[in-house]
Amino acid sequence: DQQVKQNSPSLSVQEGRISILNCDYTNSMFDYFLWYKKYPAEGPTFLISISSIKDKNEDGRFTVFLNKSAKHLSLHIVPSQPGDSAVYFCAASESRSYGKLTFGQGTILTVHP
């Protein structure tokens, strides 16, 4: 029972264009969502988060959108850079259970120069 799903295993984008990574969830108790970036042989690093009371959060080139009715969130990277090439994980938690993150399977993003 996969409560957080990233249905695209991989995404290839040209440098300078927009990258859009998608994530769906099924558990309506999730109210805090995060995106992590992971390079090979390293631990995941936090990128951006959003609370369920918002529908958008922006941090520099990264924007996360949350559509609660559709149980869908997306991460937009504009403009994409070759250094953004990594695995991106979507994660979710319930506010009463911080420290317990449920992750999606990950999407491999490749940004071509």
Partner 1 sequence: NAGVTQTPKFQVLKTGQSMTLQCAQDMNHEYMSWYRQDPGMGLRLIHYSVGAGITDQGEVPNGYNVSRSTTEDFPLRLLSAAPSQTSVYFCASSYSTGQAFFGQGTRLTVV
The residues that touch partner 1, with contacts defined as CB under 8 A, are 4, 6, 9, 32, 34, 36, 41-46, 49, 89, 91, 93, 95, 98-106
Q: Measured from the CB of residue 86, what is the shortest distance to partner 1 in angstroms?
A: 14
Residue 45 β-bridge partners:
37
Q: Measured from the CB of residue 79, what is the shortest distance to partner 1 in angstroms?
A: 25
Count H helices and E strands in the chain, helices first.
0, 11
User: And the tokens for 105?
Assistant: 């399977």
Q: Measured from the CB of residue 16, what is the shortest distance to partner 1 in angstroms?
A: 29
Residue among 43 and 113 whose Cβ is closer to partner 1: 43
Q: Measured from the CB of residue 93, what is the shortest distance to partner 1 in angstroms?
A: 5
d(C-alpha 6, C-alpha 25), whole Å: 9
Residue among 63 and 93 whose Cβ is closer to partner 1: 93
Amino acid at 64: V
31 class by beta-carbon count within 10 Å (0-12 exposed, 13-18 middle, 19+ buried): middle
Residue among 5 and 79 whose Cβ is closer to partner 1: 5
